[in-house]
Structure 1
Amino acid sequence: MNIFNFSLRLNGFPLEKAREELAAIQEKNDRDYDAHIHDKRQAIFQYHIEHNPYYKSLVKTSSYNDWNTIPVMTKRDLQLPLNDRLTKGFISKNVYVNKTSGSSGDPFIFAKDKYCHALTWAVIQNRFGWYDLDFNTSKQARFYGIPLDKKGYYKERLKDSLSKRYRFSVFDLSDAAFEKHLNKFKSTAFDYINGYTSPIVQFAKFLNRKQLNLKTICPTLKACVVTSEMLFHNDKLLMESSFGVPVINEYGASELDLIAFQNPDNDWQVNSETLFVEILDKDDNPLPYGEEGRVVITSLYNKAHPFIRYDIGDIGILSKQSTLRTPLLEKLVGRTNDIAVLPSGKRAAGLTFYYITKSIIEDDGKVKEFVIEQLEKHHFKIIYVCNDPLSEEKIKAITKEMETYLESGLTISFEKQDHLKRSKSGKLKQFTSYVTDER
């Protein structure tokens, strides 16, 4: 029995209808596809202008002339009661309601109409199908957070059981915990791994230290899908070596949809069936393919709640090989609030020097994890997990490299901890700046 699909239908999400529409979209030729995207974005804008008083007050227009003149929405525009933002005809009882993770610093409650949410799952199932993974039949090894209160804990465990998933907690990344994980892989025919990048990287490091290959321990394993956190090239190589299966990069947002998914040709293919993704400059002007800017997304099917030219808070680049039908995400640089402002006024993406430091700090495998905090414009703190403190030689090498790539005169402090603090969901924020960007 297809329990996963059945549970969606039972909760009023018309999955079969959504899958039929998705297939019809994908069958269009290039010319019809381009027209489809233009028509859908115009239609969703007009729908919310006519039926959503809040969106009309935000946009202050009632006509569609030039798409590029439509104002960009931000998360802060949506931090008011949900009922004040819902479109006419929708109430909290007849929509899908959830809350964003808050990783951007601006959490809010959002809604999708039930058909839109069914389309979300149709797209996800379609992408996983590229790798012969089926939510109804494929067994998932799930590396996610889990509520620690008794009711929440057992609720998630029940959902996992019904969805052919087994959840590995990301709050304990000790070798003792990983030994238990390993025993579970020995006794369970998992088809794939799915979850947050950083704990899965730590599991791969554990296997590497043990000189073990997961595929030989769990021969049914087909793939590993990572999401929600940055995936660095060297980490991907390590995981593929330790797991013996392809590592697939997923990029999504709970309030929108699956945004991009690595296809079998190793391209990060953007979802153009239910979303329209733009890269904009600081003045909200569209940038050509190949240039770096803000990721701004329109949900083409959500009638319950407007997400039109919505600034998701990320910085990225669409490849020059992109088309309207098949946009390709060349690079996801990081979040807009992950920008370091330096004493000279220079600005740098925090994950850039996180990556620089990573190449030095983890070269001997002793440091398990680390994060970087910017306390003042000149002061950066590296918090790391390791059995022994970093050597003076390594501290000098890190300081030198950070000054080389950023600027001289920086203060770099180091703090050893037994474990890193994660969010309630289990995610790890790799760079945090406490300096206000006054630009």
Structure 2
Amino acid sequence: MLQLFDFSLKFNGFDINKAKSALKDINALNEEAFIPYLNSKRQDILDFHLENNDFYKSFVKSADVASWNSIPVMTKRHLQQPLEQRLSKGYTANSVYVNKTSGSSGDPFIFAKDKWCHALTWAEIMNRFGWFGIDFNTSKQARFYGIPLDKKGYYKERLKDWFSNRYRFSVFDLSDNAFESVLAKFQSTPFDYINGYTSPIVQFAKFLKRKKIVLKSVCPTLKVCIVTSEMLFDNDKTLLETQFGVPIVNEYGASELDLIAFQNTEDQWQVNSETLYVEILDDNDNILPYGQEGRIVITSLYNKAHPFIRYDIGDIGILSEESTLQKPILKKLIGRTNDIARLPSGKKAAGLTFYYITKSVIENDGNVSEFVIEQSELDAFKIKYVSKNALSNDEKETISKAMIQYLEPEISITFERVAKLDRSKSGKLKQFTSFIN
């Protein structure tokens, strides 16, 4: 069988065979050998950028680089300057992999990875998907992702899809009509797995529930569904397992870094310790012990083209007490730091948490298919929703009460029924947005 996916990576200058072999060697290390490996890689990448990257040198300035804990934390804001100014010596925009973050965090920027680093990223992804019997060269993917709407971007993605043995469904049309054709495609295509954004996949599962169809019964080749890029709530996971009839795997990654965590076959969210070093820090940049909630800060151990050293990705999470340096386990991903609701009393609340409160009230009868929450003032929240029937006054009252109970009394909640929700250009749905600076 022609290894078309591997071939397309090699054709673009990414030595995937060498990367797979290097990853195998890292995975073969025992715990005792892993710690010196990690320490040396961390030191190597720091030394490299201090020597070869003027942007990083000026960023670190007078910090005590002999102590890892004293190395300053970088954020997306620090990186919002022309890419040429951030590249290491010996690298140009033409000799590296260049891409742009989705901007779902509100701070999009262009980043670079050297080709070896990017080859390792692909080796890591292929390794993790392999846990569930997926081979990128032979397994057929049903892809629920955005697609550029300009002609050139559109056909470029379609070509990549062909090389990658995948079929892409639009996430911009989630109507029953659109889902009828998605279902027909599953009936006629031997898909091995589903991969894509959580929210459209959940909408497809709700459609199947209304039709009383389990996807595996019409597409028996289906092995697994892997969701990414948006929060997967427990009740949605149960819905997906029921309606698809296959295991549901949660992936957490960042385009500028790598795959960060991937649910393993024991149902743990295993962190990538092979090519990344993940820390949880408090507000003063102190490292927190396992089990405590804080900012997720990540070092890319192999990216020489561009520094991502102690990079605050903008998410809040907890590493499990069972974690080790070699096998860190992500106990909980709480969401983005900019998804925080500020309230009149000065209290703060995670936007996703009361999105979840509303969700548990709003979705009981299957009338509302999707909704988002927007905050326009300290005391003003709007719930925009898509539904078969408008919410009754009683239903609105119940939702308002639940939100007030969770948040505080002095807030007003309004409702707006819409035909469809706006998604970002990449196709992601932002469940909570605060318009307060």
Is TM (by shorter chain) over 0.5?
Answer: yes
* Cα distance in structure 1, aligned partners of 2:103 and 2:159: 25
| Residues 221-370 of structure 1: pairs in structure 2 closer than 5 A | 221-370=222-371
Q: 1:228 touches 1:251 (CA, 8 Å); kept in 2?
A: yes
CA RMSD of aligned residues (A): 0.9
Partner of 1:181: 182
CA deviation after TM superposition for structure 1 residue 21, in Å: 1.0
Partner of 1:41: 42
* Cα distance in structure 1, aligned partners of 2:289 and 2:414: 40
What CA deviation, in whole Å up to 9, does each residue of 1:331-371 have, x standing for no partner? 11110100001110000100000000000001100101000
Question: Between the two proteins, what is the percent identity of the paired residues?
Answer: 68
Partner of 2:116: 115
| Structure 2: gaps spanning 5 or more residues | none
CA deviation after TM superposition for structure 1 residue 304, in Å: 0.3
* Cα distance in structure 2, aligned partners of 1:281 and 1:336: 12
CA deviation after TM superposition for structure 1 residue 150, in Å: 2.3
CA deviation after TM superposition for structure 1 residue 63, in Å: 6.1
Q: Secondary structure at the match of 2:352?
A: helix
What CA deviation, in whole Å up to 9, does each residue of 1:152-187 have, x standing for no partner? 222222221121100000000000000000100000
CA deviation after TM superposition for structure 1 residue 119, in Å: 0.2
What CA deviation, in whole Å up to 9, does each residue of 1:317-337 have, x standing for no partner? 111111111111111111010
Q: Which amino acid counterpart does residue 222 of structure 2 have in structure 1?
A: L
Partner of 2:166: 165
Instruction: Point out the more displaced range, 214-223 or 150-159.
Output: 150-159
* Cα distance in structure 2, aligned partners of 1:131 and 1:258: 16
Partner of 2:77: 76
Q: 2:117 touches 2:303 (CA, 8 Å); kept in 1?
A: yes
Q: 1:56 touches 1:62 (CA, 8 Å); kept in 2?
A: no
Q: Which amino acid counterpart does residue 290 of structure 2 have in structure 1?
A: Y
Instruction: Point out the more displaced range, 150-159 or 427-436.
Output: 150-159
Cα 1:371–1:27 shift into 2, 3 Å: same
Q: Which amino acid counterpart does residue 306 of structure 1 have in structure 2?
A: P
CA deviation after TM superposition for structure 1 residue 250, in Å: 0.3
Q: 1:46 touches 1:63 (CA, 8 Å); kept in 2?
A: no
Q: 1:186 touches 1:218 (CA, 8 Å); kept in 2?
A: yes
Q: Which amino acid counterpart does residue 190 of structure 2 have in structure 1?
A: A
| Residue 419 in structure 1 maps to residue 406 in structure 2 | no
Q: 1:42 touches 1:64 (CA, 8 Å); kept in 2?
A: no
Instruction: Point out the more displaced range, 9-18 or 267-276.
Output: 9-18
* Cα distance in structure 1, aligned partners of 2:64 and 2:96: 27
* Cα distance in structure 2, aligned partners of 1:144 and 1:179: 18
Q: How many residues align?
A: 436
CA deviation after TM superposition for structure 1 residue 261, in Å: 0.2
* Cα distance in structure 2, aligned partners of 1:360 and 1:63: 51
| Structure 1: gaps spanning 5 or more residues | none
Q: Which amino acid counterpart does residue 193 of structure 1 have in structure 2?
A: I
CA deviation after TM superposition for structure 1 residue 92, in Å: 0.8
CA deviation after TM superposition for structure 1 residue 65, in Å: 1.5
TM-score by length of 2: 0.99
Partner of 2:399: 398
CA deviation after TM superposition for structure 1 residue 387, in Å: 2.2
CA deviation after TM superposition for structure 1 residue 64, in Å: 3.1
Q: Secondary structure at the match of 2:308?
A: coil
